[in-house]
């Protein structure tokens, strides 16, 4: 058997095919056979690089996460924005993520997986909150624009609320319920002097409901 001289190209082809299939059919609706058919690769060629469909998915998530981190890092490092401006810009960047179709179509079924959900929560606590949100809150303390006493804990709370509690993909909530949650969150933030979400950001969260409702029944989140 001849050795593949370009393993990186093979891996790239597998990941690109899987991204397309997961976004189109969802994680549960995509089989390894689908990936083989899409790439034209044999079962052995795919399993030479990936031991399972989950490993392919996790590799994609890592890749997309690195892209998202780079975008958020640009906001945090911007020397021309105040802390409140950075907070809004960070959430705009996250909600305008070009990879959103992929996450929307795969999250409902994968959030039923305790291992996957635990990994997402761990990333919020160990990467996003301390590396991106906390530095902005600390900047706000120093410049007097955000009167907060515990930036570490507040950063964690903001991340959990915005990524889990406000997210209708995690637990099914209708548009009215999502708006009420956003209003409640805004009131909480305003109570400590932070104007984090405007009407546009609220509507983006609400928009997730209609995107979720377009998914096939097998990809709907649990009630």
At 106-160, the pLDDT tens digits run 766 666 777 777 888 898 999 999 999 999 999 999 999 998 889 999 999 999 9
In this prediction, what percent of the chain has a pLDDT beyond 90? 46
DSSP 106-134: HHHHHTT-HHHHHHHHHHIIIIIIIIIIH
22-59 pLDDT, tens digit each: 888 888 889 999 999 999 999 999 999 999 999 999 89
Number of domains in the chain: 1
Asked whether residue 5 is assigned to any structural domain, the reply reads: no
Tell the residue number behind the tokens 């509507």, with chain if given: 203
Which H/E stretch holds residue 3?
none
Asked whether residue 142 is assigned to any structural domain, the reply reads: yes
Whether 34 contacts 21, CB under 8 Å: yes
pTM above threshold 0.95: no
CATH number for the domain including 99?
1.10.357.10
Asked whether residue 29 is assigned to any structural domain, the reply reads: no
- pLDDT over 60 (residue 2): no
Which H/E stretch holds residue 49?
helix 43-49
Distance of CA 175 to the CA centre of its chain: 20
Asked whether residue 51 is assigned to any structural domain, the reply reads: no
Amino acid 216: pLDDT: 57
Asked whether residue 153 is assigned to any structural domain, the reply reads: yes
**Neighbouring C-beta atoms of residue 91, cutoff 10 Å:** 21
Asked whether residue 42 is assigned to any structural domain, the reply reads: no
Name the residue range of residue 81's domain: 58-219
């Amino acid at each position: 058997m001849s050795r593949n001289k370009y393993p990186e190209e093979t891996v790239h082809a597998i990941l690109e095919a899987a991204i397309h299939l997961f976004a189109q059919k969802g994680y549960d609706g995509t089989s390894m056979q689908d990936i083989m058919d899409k790439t034209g690769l044999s079962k052995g060629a795919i399993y030479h690089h990936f031991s399972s469909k989950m490993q392919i998915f996790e590799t994609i998530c890592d890749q997309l996460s690195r892209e998202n981190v780079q975008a958020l890092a640009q906001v945090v490092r911007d020397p021309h924005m105040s802390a409140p401006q950075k907070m809004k810009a960070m959430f705009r960047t996250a909600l305008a993520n070009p990879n959103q179709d992929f996450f929307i179509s795969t999250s409902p079924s994968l959030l039923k997986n305790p291992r996957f959900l635990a990994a997402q929560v761990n990333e919020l606590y160990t990467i996003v909150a301390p590396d991106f949100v906390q530095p902005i809150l600390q900047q706000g303390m120093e410049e007097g624009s955000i009167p907060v006493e515990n930036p570490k804990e507040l950063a964690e709370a903001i991340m959990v609320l915005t990524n889990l509690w406000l997210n209708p993909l995690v637990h099914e909530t209708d548009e009215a319920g999502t708006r009420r949650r956003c209003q409640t969150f805004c009131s909480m933030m305003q109570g400590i002097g932070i104007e984090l979400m405007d009407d546009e950001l609220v509507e983006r969260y609400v928009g997730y409901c209609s995107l979720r409702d377009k998914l096939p029944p097998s990809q709907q989140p649990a009630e």
